[in-house]
Structure 1
């Protein structure tokens, strides 16, 4: 299953780099139409996380994941068949729904198959995913040099084929044990245990709300750093792609080693306080990059990008552990599905937050880092009373990685 992340993200790297260009130059959509299409597809995708998680509590996880991977492949391939705006919107929405569902299901698989080692498993998975994204991005850059319609179409076809490949690899993986579908072995039937609902769990919902703030580091790299660097600093514009490379290299090289600091629920909980300090420092460094001079501005931007990347990796480790540890064993899929809403919410609110920070200048970036730091402290206090709950006790099983 670990290689599923690499295959999947290689295809996503191909498509993410050219999606807007494809809709503009191949499908012939206007800028407004492209923006609306992306926004509406993303809105539909929000439902994918809770729906996928709920289904996985009732049916074999690998089969459900295969279905969603095939759905993503069909949606991507369907984009090649038309330039009709309504159909492009439908196909994009279906693909977005499948993407958010698959994301939650792969995380749930890690929790079930790795047991106590789930944090390290997720770290390895994320490392491979970032490597795949880089490979796909490089291939897309090479293809874009041709600047032909056929090049765009082949990249989209490659994205669809990557989902087919991910489905084939998933089909060879062992089905992990599921607490929500445990069959009683005694002759006398055991009373049915009704899974808890995350929608009635106020503590978990509050935890998810804080997570939507902590995930905003994603918007920093997608929107914040590029816009801030070119509009408010003296740093050379060529530094921006290098900072994106720095982010990717740090994640690939350090995510697994850092995961050992959050390998248990209590350890992950303790990381929230140093995480607060890192977020605050990242915001201050970003604010300091407004200093005059290309060299000092570049140094401050690099320090800020490194700090936000470190925060991203620490938060990923904490989030993997707490999102599972706070969920009842019988409803892990449903809870993880609701947790997936945090990333979906960030995709909408994150860009608005970073553009507000840019508009208010250095003070805005200092406040941005401070707000996330305070949220870390709030989450630290919020989940403290739930920590005595035992974590998932499913023993690891051997997984086919072919």
Structure 2
């Protein structure tokens, strides 16, 4: 087989066609740029704008709180306007807000621009997921897995480039990294403009001038979906455990070397890149995705037990159990990602898919805000707090398993929407 034929065969395996492949490039560029800036953001605010540690913490905290609104807002807009246009607007707003930081060192303005930038930043994940649901159709889980792999590769490339640049430790370097991230958003907007608009799900519309159109479904009135989103916020803790809690636990509670912390993050990225796509086939249907909640519960239980064991004594026991915990929780991360993608879409009615996915996006945003506080308390409480957290996560998996069954039963009993042409 020639190189051209191999490339064609590989492209054919990617759902969504040419536009789907372009969006994967967009995901790679997005995380490459984010990797450049994430490593430098605190240093930029310290050395370029002269903020104190307390000011930086408040700025990031307030911006994160404002950004929570980005996910539901993006979902609503995507139900009313072409999703590619909403994506382009979000990418341009991200670039503008970031470049605005270069124009001032006034604290109030820095906080304002940072808060504005978090809105489209949080929206991007929802919009990408919605695009996949529309463009890839039944293969949306596989597409999202490939998308996540591309994003992890981009994050690694951006992080390595930033590490090399930061060795120079100058204000000019921090400013260039900011500009590089902004440039990535502009490139993403251009590539998105080259993508076709995927077909949106059918909507209920008026069949005559005398019959009023049925209102769009409202996720805020859907008790089952709101409870599902609440359980999702808890299950997304795997991310904060790996990124935040584990390094702190290594430093404060174990005899493992501090240098193990970044190595475990590298291990996490390598496993996600290597296995996220193969694992996606186990959640290719709604029924299969719901079944994944059972092994997810087991992984949470085993992973938290391993973390508790890492503090029981000895350098090598700590290293062994921490590596085991990182592997178990990375598999939990991948399995939950697969199940979450499918179940959130399966529970979203076609006439308000964007609004529902926007509300679902709150789960990750809330977890990023509250998760570090919760896990700080777990670390302070000592080793026995980890099994308690694991038991709570197992109970959450069981609750979600039941909620999904109830939600799908309710949807199957509802009257399907009538699709008519709009003239």
| TM-score, reference length from structure 1 | 0.94
Mapped pair 1:242 → 2:263 = yes
- Of the three residues 286, 291, 294, the one matched with 2:312 is 291
The two structures, once aligned, show a CA RMSD in angstroms of 1.7
- Residue in 2 aligned with 1:145? 167
Distance 1:188 1:78 in 2: 49
State the match for 1:216 in structure 2.
Answer: 237
Rate the CA distance shift 1:358–1:196 in 2: closer, same or farther, 3 A: same
Q: Distance in 1 between matches of 2:294 and 2:59?
A: 39
1:321 corresponds to 2:342 = yes
Q: CA offsets per residue over residues 282-325 of structure 1, 9 Å max, x none?
A: 00000000132211110100000111110000000000001100
Q: Which residue of 1 aligns with 2:294?
A: 273
The structure-2 alpha-carbon separation of the partners of 1:387 and 1:187, relative to structure 1 and needing over 3 Å to count, comes to closer
Contact conserved, 2:204 with 2:351, CA < 8 A, in 1? no
- Report the Cα distance in structure 2 between the residues aligned to 1:303 and 1:114, rounded to whole angstroms: 35
1:303-360 Cα distance to aligned partner (Å, 9 max, x none): 0011111000000000000110001001000000000110111012110121111111
2:225, 2:407 within 8 Å by CA — same for their partners in 1?
no
Deviations 1:15-57 (A, max 9, x none): 1111111111111001111011001100110110001100110
Q: Select 2:106's aligned residue among 81, 84, 88.
A: 84
Q: Does 1:228 align with 2:249?
A: yes
Find the counterpart in structure 2 of residue 159 from structure 1. 181
Structure-to-structure mapping, 1:2-401, within 5 angstroms: 2-179=24-201, 192-388=213-409, 389=411
Shift of 1:193: 3.2
1:202-226 deviation per Cα after TM superposition (whole angstroms, max 9, x unaligned): 0000000000000011111221001
Show structure 2 runs of 5+ residues with no match: 1-22, 417-423
Shift of 1:188: 8.6
Change over 3 Å in CA distance of 1:135–1:189 after alignment to 2: farther
1:194 is paired with a residue whose SS is coil
Give 1:165 shift.
Answer: 1.1
Q: How far apart, CA to CA, are the structure 1 residues paired with 2:408 and 2:205?
A: 28
Q: For residues 332 and 190 of structure 2, what CA distance do their matches in structure 1 show?
A: 34
| Kept after mapping to 1: 8 A contact 2:134/2:200 | yes
CA distance in 1, matches of 2:209, 2:229: 39
Alpha-carbon distance in structure 2 between the residues aligned to 1:364 and 1:352: 14
Q: Deviations over 1:106-131 (max 9, x none)?
A: 11000011111100000000000000
Question: Which structure carries more relative contact order (alpha carbon 8 Å, separation 6+)?
Answer: 1
Once the two structures are TM-superposed, the CA of residue 182 in structure 1 deviates from its matched residue by 8.2
**Count of residue pairs the alignment pairs up:** 390
**Change beyond 3 A, Cα 1:12–1:180:** farther
Pairwise CA distance, 1:250: 0.6
Deviations 1:355-396 (A, max 9, x none): 111111110111112211110111001111233547xx9xxx
In structure 1, distance between residues paired with 2:278 and 2:321 = 26
